[in-house]
Amino acid sequence: MRPQARRRTKRFRKLEDVLRSRTAEHRLVQRAQMVKLREIEALSWAEVARRTGSSINTVKTWVGRWKSDRRVDSLEDRQRSGRPPVVFKRAEVLVLSIACRRPGELGRLEGIWRQVDIADEAQKKEVKVSRSTVQRILDRAEVKPHKERYYLFTKKDRPEYEARRDAINDLYQRALPPDEIVVCIDEKTGIQALGLPKGYPHGGRRAGGKGFPARIDQNYQRHGSRSLVAAVNPATGKLLHSTVYAPKGFMSRHMVAFLRELQAKHPHIRRFHVVWDNGSTHISKETKAFLHSPEGECFAVLYTPAHASWLNLCENFFSRFSRRYLRGQRYTSVLALENHLLAAANDYQRWAAPMEWTYNPRREAA
């Protein structure tokens, strides 16, 4: 009869993490399996070797290293000696010069550089380098031509950029009278009503314990989409008014109606300081005509600069709202999504919190 398995202790937790990992190297998982079978389950050397497909000497080597240094790092290969690779300076300069240019500039059709492509281009310049040599050169210089990251260029040299930015920044930090309020208005478009298709009755599984997150079925069916228009008071974080509409159905006349409903909900407010972006329903002739009319004179509008919609704190509201109410949801119809959005907007008021404004334009100037 086999001896009783030894009790697991803290030093084996990281070892078990390696065994459960889906991204760890195969050789590291195999060595961790050797240690587990020998040290935790107390199997014989021969049985461990048979289960892991290794020799007894190999098992003894890695278990011995683990016993001398009970860390996962002890199962890694040690640094080996040998002649250091030789890379001529001309090859290094050429490889880096190619990697720092777009492939199209050299007449290639690829969108991004691969190491083999850089080696091929270097050979055209009569410099013979292998793919592994290209990899070493790029690693040493920390150049990653195979990766891309989006960026957005904000034209801060526009005359109105600083004026608009500073006006919104001052509004958030200014103390207003009781009959004035700041209102951030924005639209979250394209909220999809994703549901399970026929034949997939299971919506998912709950979290299954440590290391096992909740699961949701990858199959879905599109029932349609809706958009949410919201007006938020950043001082309290509360939702002052909201509405749900179909895509491409919200026009200037609906925005005017939205403002009228907001005004009717808060008759004690004399001045609404509105912060919003340059959306089509915000700058249309119909909307501007209403804002300049006697009925809309209570709205003082501030437009965010181009590519600076982050100045609108309604973006902060949508981030909170999406994480809490939209993430991981499935709907049976677009009407179910619409009802869910309306119910969630009412429920949001329970835990709404003030939005702290910490932006300082002086840091940007520095």
Residue at 148 is within a domain: no
Structure tokens at 124: 């055209």
Residue at 287 is within a domain: yes
If asked whether residues 179 and 327 sit together in one domain, one would say: yes
Q: What's the whole-model pTM score?
A: 0.62
If asked whether residues 164 and 100 sit together in one domain, one would say: no
Q: What's the CA dihedral at 333, 228, 305, 286 to 10 degrees?
A: 110
pLDDT in tens, the chain (366 residues): 344 444 455 667 788 888 888 888 888 899 989 998 988 888 999 999 999 999 999 999 999 988 888 888 888 887 777 776 666 788 899 999 999 999 999 999 988 999 999 999 999 988 889 999 999 999 989 999 988 887 766 665 567 888 888 899 999 998 999 999 999 999 999 899 988 776 655 555 566 666 677 777 777 888 899 999 999 999 999 999 999 998 777 888 999 999 999 999 999 999 999 999 988 899 999 999 999 999 999 999 999 988 888 899 999 999 999 999 998 888 889 999 999 999 999 999 999 999 988 887 766 655
Q: How many domains does the chain have?
A: 3
Residue at 146 is within a domain: no
Tell me the chain's radius of gyration from C-alpha atoms: 31
Q: Looking at residue 255, what is its pLDDT?
A: 93
If asked whether residues 204 and 286 sit together in one domain, one would say: yes
Give the DSSP letter of residue 156: T
If asked whether residues 135 and 181 sit together in one domain, one would say: no
If asked whether residues 114 and 186 sit together in one domain, one would say: no
d(CA 31, CA 66): 9
Residue at 363 is within a domain: no
Residue at 151 is within a domain: no
If asked whether residues 234 and 120 sit together in one domain, one would say: no
If asked whether residues 23 and 117 sit together in one domain, one would say: no
If asked whether residues 102 and 196 sit together in one domain, one would say: no
Residue at 165 is within a domain: yes
Q: Looking at residue 3, what is its pLDDT?
A: 40
If asked whether residues 93 and 71 sit together in one domain, one would say: no
Residue at 366 is within a domain: no
d(CA 296, CA 255): 12
Q: What is the CATH number of the domain that holds 251?
A: 3.30.420.10
Range of the domain at 119: 89-141
Of 40, 46, 15, 43, residue with least CA distance to 29: 15
d(CA 313, CA 232): 8
Pairing type for strands 239-245 and 180-195 reads unpaired
Domain end, chosen from 29, 44, 75, is at 75
If asked whether residues 132 and 189 sit together in one domain, one would say: no
Structure tokens at 205: 């599984």
Neighbour tally for 112: CB within 10 Å: 12
If asked whether residues 48 and 127 sit together in one domain, one would say: no
Residue at 338 is within a domain: yes
If asked whether residues 129 and 209 sit together in one domain, one would say: no
